[in-house]
Amino acid sequence: MALNYDDLMATSVVDLPFSYGDTESMLYAISIGFGRNAVDPDELPFVYEQGEPMRTVPSLATVLVPDMFPPDLGWDFSQVLHVEQRLQLYRPLPVAADLLINKKIVAAFDHGPRRGALVLFEAEARLAKDDTALFTIGNTIMARADGGFGGPRGKGPPAHRPPRREPDLSCDLETRSDQALLYRLNGDRNPLHADPSLARRVGYPVPILHGLCTYGVACHAILKTICAYDYTLITGFDARFSAPVLPGDTITTDMWQDGNIVSFQCSVKERDIVVLKNGKCTLAA
């Protein structure tokens, strides 16, 4: 079976119901490093449902759309890479909500038999109670084994470029050796993030951290360093994945702030590698 352009462009889901509660909101926050200091008054509202009103991490939206990348599109799912994540928030995420979700493929580009295919997905979530738009997420996927299916050539959205100066701010956040096992409870059960023998077969010394966990850690860093934990400030969060993180690595997020735009890049200094690049965080004006 191979990719079929007409079938891809007809792929859509309308009004998919999805519900989450405060347990899911807290689990997500803990899985990207909130609450490591269990008495930190700034982080406790993200992981504890009593006391002051709970807060949500903006990047929680990325785990609120089930089956974002269907495995049965005709592609070789073992060769699929998540290369870019985009998020636009229309209002702060509730701690718990019933959602209606529309999902579709917005573009599919054929780079040829040896270069693969680029597929762009988009999902919009609305509050079921009043049909209010909540967020839109976009994903760019590289199907490395599926080029040559006859689709148009083309590129994904242009990359955001950080300023050419030293970072204005930087934040180091340590990951845990068991962090991939914890993060997978948000819904991504890919065995590459849990099975040591599989990880070794594909060239990694241990199961790797989910790219979206690294993305969440970057959001954590900006909330902590620039937003003073005011989760209502972040209205957009885009980045490209460039290399995997190994659980236990320290993720350094470098930030450049220009008005309401925060450019960011994540690296693992122990291995001298950039793991997230072209980051763009939009703050409320």
Task: Cite the active site residues.
Answer: 188, 193, 208, 211
Q: Where are the alpha helices (DSSP H) in 117-210?
A: 179-183, 196-201
Q: Using CA atoms, how far apart are residues 102 and 13, in angstroms rounded to an integer?
A: 5
Closest CA relative to residue 121, chosen from 75, 170, 160, 57: 75
Instruction: Specify whether the CB–CB gap between 38 and 69 falls below 8 A.
Output: no
DSSP string, 5-42: HHHHHT-EEEEEEEEE-HHHHHHHHHHTTTTSSTT-TT
Residue 198 backbone dihedrals phi, psi, to 5 degrees? -65, -45
